[in-house]
Amino acid sequence: MVLRMLLVLNKSVCLRYVDHDLLPHEEFVGLYRVSETTGQAKVAADVLLRLNVPMSGLRGQTYDGQYKRVLCSLEEMAKSTSNAASTASGLFQHFSRGTTGLSLTLASAVVGELECLNISLQKKTQAVSGMQAAVNHVRSFLKRKRNDKNYLALYEKATTLVDSTESIDPIQVIHSSRFVGKAAVAYPGHSYWGGQDGTQN
């Protein structure tokens, strides 16, 4: 008796969508045999064609360049007579604030790196040592990003986005007074940890 083991690659396909009440859903469609696990745009297009799902309703996963489109869609839904009009109106008001645009711009710099890390950790050929190295690399990369120069660059990017979109209010940053250095310098009698006896609060 001869036993043969065949290695078959399958890609799981899930559809994420939002219903008329703006409630998110995720449905498992099935497993599809593929020759490799990366770059599966053709497989996705084939799945949608077989399911008769129009590509005009697709929204790709992205972290940049979709803000105006989201605002237009929410504004259009808010003016409709559907059950989701009030929800869309609230979301539109929230996304129309300049501070929301700034927050999303700042978050995108982190989320983009974490998304790359997530993809790296899911590789079938990835070893534990490689996973640890990837995590350490992303951690050190994000630490290096925590400085005034990178913040100002992201702030300028958010300002450009807000200024180029008519329905967004200007960014209003609340400036709070803060000290630089150890707490003991700013608050005499207290240790660096904040307590008078040197213990951490």
pLDDT tens profile 118-156: 888 887 787 888 889 989 999 998 898 888 898 899 889
Q: Would you say the C-alpha torsion 194, 195, 198, 201 has a positive or negative sign?
A: negative
What is the token pair recorded at 60? 């790709």
What are the distances in angstroms from CA 191 to CA 157, 178, 199? 39, 17, 8
When mean pLDDT is compared across 32-36, 42-46, 197-201, the lowest value belongs to 197-201
In a domain, 7, yes or no: yes
**In which domain, by residue range, is 76 found?**
64-96
pTM listed for this prediction:
0.53
| 3: pLDDT strictly greater than 70 | no
In 3D space, the residue among 75, 78, 43 whose CA is nearest the CA of residue 165 turns out to be 75
CA–CA gap between residue 71 and residue 65 (Å, rounded) = 12
In a domain, 18, yes or no: yes
CA–CA gap between residue 194 and residue 126 (Å, rounded) = 44
Domain count, the chain: 3
Which pLDDT score, from 0 to 100, does residue 136 have? 92
The verdict on 104 and 151 lying in the same domain is: yes
The verdict on 108 and 90 lying in the same domain is: no
| 61: pLDDT strictly greater than 70 | no
The verdict on 80 and 111 lying in the same domain is: no
Half-sphere exposure of 132 (CA within 13 A, CB side): 3
Report the 10 Å Cβ neighbour count for 135: 13
For residue 97, give the 3-state DSSP assignment.
coil
Give every CB contact of residue 21 below 8 A, 6+ residues apart in sequence.
Answer: 83, 84, 87
